[in-house]
């Protein structure tokens, strides 16, 4: 794989919204912690006292049956949903009340379970948009005179987008409209967009869904590169258990809104509680879509 300094900001400038509390994404990546998170929807506890820590440079899997609370935890971590109880910490600083925009500008990125590309933009433009928040430099007047600094910044961003697309095996699609892409390629573009501006922490919600085996290998390589070479902490939700076990050093299992188990891939796979709640046994036939694939048999949705 080509060496790509994914944590070098495209134009070398710090984020406009700098804070003395949390370092910007251009600094060393920070750890992310969910501490005693509870989220209720009416009578349902989607998350019940969940604690989870993601270290810089770690790829951690988050697995569990449908409705276990995985996406709800992502919503809390990324600031879309305020928890009823508990705190979110980035680099040791309490960010529970920070907005999603603030978190993104400080290096937290996520992809969504449902595809969220800008379909009417090209693939390359999807990545350029992700860098736009750093400012255009000079506005309309600079546009008119095409100020050299503006041109240089634009060039750096295009170079960055091209490098990320190459890293993700997408360079041949740069000029294609995102709306027309096969689902596996679209998933990869979502990942590329999430890292177009250098990330500190990456939350991936079912990134491999709809991918071919070849695309999954590519995804594995990109995720491992981000973690191993760039120190990015990656939290990865997936029902493809074989993929999770391959790419993740540590796995956390959620069930009915609680942490059921946590450990290495091998420890989690061998845990009888996990097998009962989620993995089933290899002899079981698939029972529903959205259940785990690649190892064992899926479990039905569990009632609370
Ligand atoms: N906006 C909402 N309003 C009411 N209940 C919700 C809402 N979002 C999630 N839930 C409920 O919270 C629980 C956790 O849902 P969540 O989507 O987090 O699960 P998940 O682990 O991501 O499942 P899946 O594997 O199917 O994506 C489920 O019982 C779900 O029905
Ligand atoms: Mg989900």
Q: Is residue 20 in a domain?
A: no
Using the predicted structure, report yes or no on whether residue 18 has a pLDDT greater than 70: no
Q: Is residue 143 in a domain?
A: no
Q: Is residue 300 in a domain?
A: no
Give how many domains the chain has, as a whole number.
Answer: 1
Q: Is residue 263 helix, strand or coil?
A: strand
CATH number at residue 91: 3.40.50.300
46 lines ligand 1 (CB under 6 A): yes
290 lines ligand 1 (CB under 6 A): yes
Q: Is residue 267 in a domain?
A: yes
Using the predicted structure, report yes or no on whether residue 136 has a pLDDT greater than 80: no
Q: How confident is the model at residue 21 (pLDDT cuts 50, 70, 90)?
A: very low
Pairwise CA distance, residues 33 & 235, whole Å? 11
301 lines ligand 1 (CB under 6 A): no
Q: How confident is the model at residue 151 (pLDDT cuts 50, 70, 90)?
A: confident
Please tell me the predicted confidence (pLDDT) of residue 137: 63
Q: Is residue 162 in a domain?
A: no
Residue 260: its H or E element = strand 258-264
Please tell me the predicted confidence (pLDDT) of residue 194: 96
Q: Whose CA is nearest to atom 5 of ligand 1?
A: 41
Average pLDDT over residues 82-91: 97
Best residue among 34, 39, 46 to mutate for probing ligand 1's pocket (most ligand atoms within 8 Å of CB) is 46
173 lines ligand 1 (CB under 6 A): no
Average pLDDT over residues 248-265: 96
Average pLDDT over residues 5-13: 46
- 91-128 pLDDT per residue, tens: 999 999 999 999 999 999 999 999 899 999 999 999 99
pTM of the model: 0.86
Smallest CA-to-CA distance from 48 within 222, 291, 254 is with 254
Q: Give the highest mean pLDDT range of 69-78, 239-248, 269-278.
A: 69-78
Using the predicted structure, report yes or no on whether residue 17 has a pLDDT greater than 50: no
Q: What is the DSSP string of 48-80?
A: EEEEEEE-TT-EEEEE-STTSSHHHHHHHHHTS
Q: Assess contact for 274 and 253: CB atoms under 8 A.
A: yes
Using the predicted structure, report yes or no on whether residue 281 has a pLDDT greater than 60: no
Please tell me the predicted confidence (pLDDT) of residue 287: 42
Please tell me the predicted confidence (pLDDT) of residue 293: 65
Taking the centre of ligand 2 as the mean of its atom positions, its distance from the CA of residue 255, in whole angstroms, is 12
Q: Is residue 133 in a domain?
A: no
Q: Is residue 160 in a domain?
A: no
Q: Assess contact for 61 and 265: CB atoms under 8 A.
A: yes
Please tell me the predicted confidence (pLDDT) of residue 302: 62
Q: Which long-range contacts (CB under 8 A, 24 or more apart) does 11-15 make?
A: 11/134, 11/152, 11/153, 11/156, 11/157, 12/156, 13/134, 15/105, 15/106, 15/133, 15/134
Q: How confident is the model at residue 23 (pLDDT cuts 50, 70, 90)?
A: very low
Please tell me the predicted confidence (pLDDT) of residue 30: 79
**Containing structural domain, residue 36:** 32-117+201-279
Using the predicted structure, report yes or no on whether residue 153 has a pLDDT greater than 90: no
Q: Which long-range contacts (CB under 8 A, 24 or more apart) does 167-171 make?
A: 167/1, 167/2, 167/4, 167/6, 167/192, 167/222, 167/225, 168/192, 168/218, 168/222, 169/218, 170/123
Q: How confident is the model at residue 138 (pLDDT cuts 50, 70, 90)?
A: low
Q: What is the DSSP string of 238-252?
A: -SBHHHHHHH-SEEE
Which of 106-110, 139-143, 292-296 is least confident? 292-296
Query: If you average pLDDT over every residue of the chain, what do you get?
Result: 85
Please tell me the predicted confidence (pLDDT) of residue 301: 53
- 156-169 pLDDT per residue, tens: 999 999 999 999 99
Taking the centre of ligand 1 as the mean of its atom positions, its distance from the CA of residue 73, in whole angstroms, is 10
Measure Cα distances from 171 to 44, 111, 116, 159, 176 in Å.
Answer: 45, 20, 20, 12, 10
The residue with greater pLDDT, 181 or 24, is 181
């Amino acid at each position: 794989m080509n060496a790509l300094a994914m944590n070098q900001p495209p134009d070398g400038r710090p984020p406009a919204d700098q804070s003395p509390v949390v370092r910007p994404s251009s600094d060393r990546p920070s750890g992310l912690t969910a501490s005693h998170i509870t989220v209720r929807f009416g009578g349902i506890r989607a998350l019940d006292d969940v604690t989870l820590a993601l270290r810089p440079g770690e790829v951690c899997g988050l697995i569990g049956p449908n409705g276990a609370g995985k996406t709800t935890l992502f919503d809390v971590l990324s600031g879309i949903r305020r928890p009823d109880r508990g705190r979110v910490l980035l680099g040791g600083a309490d960010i529970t009340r920070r907005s999603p925009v603030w978190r993104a500008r400080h290096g937290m990125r996520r992809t969504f379970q449902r595809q969220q590309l800008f379909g009417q933009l090209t693939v390359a433009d999807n990545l350029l948009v992700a860098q736009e928040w750093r400012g255009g430099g000079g506005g309309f007047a600079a546009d008119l005179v095409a100020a050299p600094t503006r041109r240089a910044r634009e060039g750096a961003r295009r170079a960055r987008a091209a490098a990320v697309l190459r890293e993700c095996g997408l360079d041949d699609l740069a000029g294609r409209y995102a709306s027309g892409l096969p689902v596996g390629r679209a998933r990869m573009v979502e990942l590329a967009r999430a890292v177009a501006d250098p990330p500190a922490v990456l939350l991936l919600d079912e990134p491999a869904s709809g991918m071919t085996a070849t695309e999954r290998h590519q995804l594995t390589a990109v995720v491992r590169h981000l973690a191993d070479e760039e120190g990015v902490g990656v939290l990865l939700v997936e029902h493809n258990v074989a993929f999770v076990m391959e790419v993740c050093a540590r796995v956390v299992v959620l069930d009915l809104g609680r942490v059921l188990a946590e450990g290495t891939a091998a420890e989690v796979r061998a845990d009888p509680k996990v097998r009962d709640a989620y993995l089933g046994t290899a002899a079981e036939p698939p029972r529903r879509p959205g259940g785990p694939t690649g190892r064992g048999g899926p479990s039905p949705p569990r009632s609370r």
